[in-house]
Amino acid sequence: MALLLAGLAGLVGCGGPTGADGASADVRRVLDRRSAAVREGSEAAYVATAAPGSVDAGERSAARTGFRNLREVPLTDWSYRMTGFHRSGDRATADAELRYRIDGYDRAPVVTARTLALARTGGRWYVTGDRPAEGSGRQLWEQGAVTAVRGGHSLVLGVGRPAGALRALAELADRAVPAVSGAWGGGWAQRVVVLAPASLEDMAGLLGAPASGYRGIAAVTTGEAGGRATAPADRIIVNPEAYGELGSFGRQVVITHETTHVATRSSTSAATPLWLSEGYADWVGYRGTGRTARQVAPELARAVAAGRVPTELPADGDFAFGGDTGALARAYESGWLACRFVAERWGEERLGDFYRAVGAHGRRAGAVEAGLREVLGTTPREFTDLWRAYARDRLG
Alpha-carbon dihedral of residues 255, 259, 265, 267, nearest 10 degrees?
Answer: -110
Of residues 11 and 17, which shows the higher confidence score? 17
Lowest-pLDDT range of 7-21, 64-78, 190-204: 7-21
What confidence category does residue 1 fall into, taking pLDDT thresholds of 50, 70 and 90?
Answer: very low
> Around 149, how many Cα atoms within 13 Å sit in the side-chain half-sphere?
21
Residue 3 pLDDT > 60: no
CA-based nearest residue to 72, from 11, 144, 132: 144
Give 109-163 pLDDT, tens digit per residue.
Answer: 999 999 999 999 999 999 999 999 999 999 999 999 999 999 999 999 999 999 9
pLDDT number for residue 111: 95
Of residues 320 and 25, which shows the higher confidence score? 25
User: For domain 138-265, which architecture applies?
Assistant: 3-Layer(aba) Sandwich (3.40)
Of residues 361 and 228, which shows the higher confidence score? 361
Model-level pTM? Answer: 0.90
Mean pLDDT, the chain, integer: 92
Residue 367 pLDDT > 80: yes
CA-based nearest residue to 98, from 223, 9, 8: 9
pLDDT number for residue 18: 40
Residue 226 pLDDT > 70: no
Check if 8-137 and 138-265 are the same fold: no
pLDDT number for residue 71: 95
What is the rounded CA–CA span in Å between residue 45 and residue 40?
A: 9
Residue 19 pLDDT > 70: no
Residue 227 pLDDT > 60: no
How confident is the model over 91-101, as a mean pLDDT?
97
Lowest-pLDDT range of 9-18, 88-97, 201-210, 256-265: 9-18
Burial of 365 (0-12, 13-18, 19+ CB in 10 A): exposed
- Partners of 12 in beta bridges: 98
Give 235-287 pLDDT, tens digit per residue.
Answer: 999 999 999 999 999 999 999 999 999 999 999 999 999 999 999 999 999 99
Give 67-86 pLDDT, tens digit per residue.
Answer: 999 999 999 999 999 999 99
What confidence category does residue 323 fall into, taking pLDDT thresholds of 50, 70 and 90?
Answer: low
Instruction: Indicate the helix (H) or strand (E) that contains 85.
Output: strand 75-88
Domain ranges of the chain: 8-137, 138-265, 269-396
Residue 6 pLDDT > 50: no
User: For domain 8-137, which architecture applies?
Assistant: Roll (3.10)
Taken in order 297, 302, 305, 306, is the CA torsion positive or negative?
A: negative
CA-based nearest residue to 8, from 80, 85, 108, 84: 108
Strands 110-121 and 124-132: antiparallel
Residue 234 pLDDT > 70: yes
Residue 35 pLDDT > 70: yes
